[in-house]
Amino acid sequence: MPFRLRFVPGGKRLLLLLTPLTLAGALVVGAYVYRNVAADAVLSPSPAPANNPALEVPSQPGLLVHVVGAVENPGLYRLPRGDRVFDAIAAAGGFSQDADMSRLPNLAGRLKDGEQVKVAFVKTASGTVVVRTNLNQATLEELEAVPGFTDALARECIDYRVNFGGFQNTRELVDILGMSETDYLVARRYLTL
């Protein structure tokens, strides 16, 4: 059975009139939506696409070097690639007073990652090596073992560290804690910060 489309009388005119109006309305709505989406994209740009980590070249982080022995601040230091042994010693505060200058490492040698730079101590007349105690990290027993320190002074040092955050230089033993000048001249050789 064939299906025939029948228009209401005068419906062709109505259809001819509504079709362009519907298309015009759709264009206006489409333009409005497009304008709002474009404005949002300009105001809040989308984040840059993430780089593929497999394609990135890692940056050169530098060398991790351990400096020990007769330097002012022994410890671990991160240095740029291509640095030499003297750069590592300079980063550790330079040579201490009790460094044996006749037994230095090769100062012109290139550093390698994970290398340990050792600076020898001067031996005393009895052949023993001077050991330095860190004033800001030593325990009570370690401070009591330093020549020129008493039990009371060692306790005052620990109290001072706890209350004031540590020593800025060893001279504070005389200026703040009241250590005698004579004892200080002996003790400073055995102390570091």
- Residues 75 and 98 reside in one and the same domain: yes
pLDDT at 186 over 80: no
> Looking at residues 165-179, what average pLDDT do you find?
80
In a domain, 17, yes or no: no
Residue among 162, 160, 157, 163 at smallest CA distance from 145: 157
- Residue 193: its pLDDT value, please? 74
Residue 54 pLDDT class (50, 70, 90 cuts) = very low
Name the domain boundary from 99, 123, 147.
123
Q: Are residues 116 and 147 in the same domain?
A: no
Co-location of 73 and 98 in the same domain? yes
20 part of a folded domain: no
Is 8 part of a structural domain of the chain? no
Domain interval for residue 109:
58-123
Question: Which residues, in sequence order, are CB contacts of 67 under 8 Å at separation 6+?
Answer: 74, 75, 76, 77, 88, 89, 91, 92, 116, 117, 119
pTM of the model: 0.39
Residue 35 lies in a domain: no
Domain endpoint, select from 93, 123, 153: 123
48: confidence class by pLDDT, cuts 50, 70, 90: low
In angstroms, the CA 188 to CA 120 distance is 18
Q: How many structural domains does the chain have?
A: 2
| Sign of the CA dihedral running 5, 11, 17, 23 | negative
Give a yes or no: residue 141 inside a domain.
yes
